[in-house]
Amino acid sequence: MSHLDGDYLASSKLSQNKIVKEKEDMEESTKKAVTEGVDCKIPVTEAWMRKHRLLYDGATRHTFIRSIRDGSVDFSSFKRWLGQDYIFVRSFVPFVASTLVKSSKESGDGLDMEVILGGMASLNDEINWFKNEASKFHVSLTSVVPQKANIKYCRFLENLTSSEVEYPVAISVFWAIEAVYQESFAHCLEEGHKIPEELQETCERWGNEAFGTYCKSLREIADRCLQKASPEVISKAEVSFLSVLEHEVDFWNMSVGEA
């Protein structure tokens, strides 16, 4: 073996060691990237919120809501909202009941069912609250005629009661509907508000901390279901999430007399 050969072998061994080391480093960084990728993978509902931020803000920061917060609200708009929302909540109940049935069939430990059952109980309170509020504001609930935006929203919910509609879709819709009210009224209550005294209770009804915790539980259930769902079901749920936001905007528009 020549001197050159020895050098060659030595350098070849050196570069081989370098290659092995580089490969090991790459594998390590790939492993790290994959692990970090999994760790920092954002929940589906978070991805939707980021992607549809404008529409979400449109639903949770509507002029009607802003007017409650800054005290400039028109009380005839509030009364219109009150009567229409009473009708909406009554249609919301069968939808929530159908979601409860889906959860009882699909969720393993039964904990989802308890959260949804709690939601049903709070809807019962909500209906009674509307009756009380209506009598305070002299709104006759029996003579309220459902308006177009409300009819469309109720029809959307009715279609979702079908057993064909997958649980991840239904629970995502349920979460989104409750979350819009929670965020809207919690915004009203943020520091510096000038909520008229008569409407303070309304804001607290959905803007309070316990309602916030309940919405967070619904969101966690939705994310857990979506994580296991097929791409088709996830995209159906996303489309339904967008429909909720659009219906909520239309509902506020109707309340201020713009629909």
Ligand X SMILES: Cc1ncc(CN)c(N)n1
Interacting residues toward ligand X by CB under 6 A: 85, 88-89, 177-178, 180-181, 251
Smallest gap from residue 42 Cβ to ligand X (A): 25
226: Cβ contacts below 8 Å, ≥ 6 apart: 43, 44, 45, 168, 172, 233, 234, 237
Place of tokens 């791409």: 231
Which DSSP state fits 108?
S
- Give exposure, 73-108, as e/b (b: 16+ Cβ within 10 Å): beeebbbbbbbbbbbbbebbeebbebbbebbeeebe
Q: Residue 64 or 167: which CB sits closer to ligand X?
A: 64
| Residue of closest CB approach to ligand X | 181
C-alpha angle 150-56-104 in degrees, rounded to nearest 5 = 70
Cβ nearer to ligand X, comparing 47 with 89: 89
User: Minimum Å distance from CB 231 to ligand X?
Assistant: 28
Q: What whole-number distance in Å separates Cα of residue 159 and Cα of residue 114?
A: 24
Choice between 48 and 153, CB closer to ligand X: 153
CA 115/CA 94 separation, integer angstroms? 16
Nearer to ligand X, 47 or 123 (CB): 123
Assess whether 248 carries a catalytic annotation: yes
CB of 179 to ligand X, least distance (A): 9
Catalytic one of 24, 46, 248, 258 = 248
Burial profile 37-53: b = 16 or more Cβ within 10 angstroms, e = fewer:
eeeeeeebbeebbeebe
- The 3-state DSSP class for residue 146 equals coil
- Which residues belong to the active site? 248
